Amino acid sequence: MNLGIASDHAGLELKSKILEFLKEFIPSAKVIDYGMKGDYEVSDYPDYSKVLAKDISSHRIERGILICGTGIGMAIVANKFPKVQAVVVGDEYTAKMSRSHNDSNVICLGARVTHWERAIEFVKIWLNTPFEKGRHQNRIDKIRTIELGIHA
Ligand code: RB5
């Protein structure tokens, strides 16, 4: 699986922990780190979310993990890009349902609101849950038409 990960300053520490987890638990995964990389005091989440989301849109990567203080800013930006289903996840059930019903391809985590061990648990569930397709695929198809501006 090709994965991407990015954070702003608020998510930097959690990003490192998730990168370690990914290395250990899915050693075969190719993971692109989109930053931030330095220890800057302040950074702007749109700068990191947009580069990852662009690569989801173009199919360079299959799934992305975005981390900021709440996950919210990252999700707002990522969802501006076609074919991106970015979701803010704050519990196990949402982690699972965002995959099985919504085919989410980007998980957004809040480092200031979620303990790192729990965040890793959400990532684990999210990576392991398949999309159910069927009637849920019809709904995703409707999202695609909205993106194209051809909805009624
Ligand atoms: C940065 O202070 C914070 O606003 C950002 O990490 C994020 O939570 C925005 O949604």
CATH class of residue range 2-147: alpha beta
Find out whether the peptide bond into 97 is cis, omega within 30 degrees of 0.
no
Spell out the domain ranges in the chain: 2-147
pLDDT digits 0-9 by tens, 101-142: 999 999 999 999 999 999 999 999 999 999 999 999 999 999
Q: In what order do the strands lie in the sheet with 86-88?
A: 30-33, 2-7, 63-68, 106-110, 86-88
* Ligand 1: centre distance to CA 45 (Å): 7
* Ligand 1: centre distance to CA 152 (Å): 35
**For this structure, is 108 an active site residue?**
no
CA angle 98–100–106, rounded 5-degree value: 40
pLDDT digits 0-9 by tens, 33-55: 999 998 767 899 999 999 999 99
Q: Determine the Cα–Cα distance for residues 57 and 60; give it in Å rounded to an integer.
A: 8
The residue whose CA is least distant from atom 9 of ligand 1 is: 73
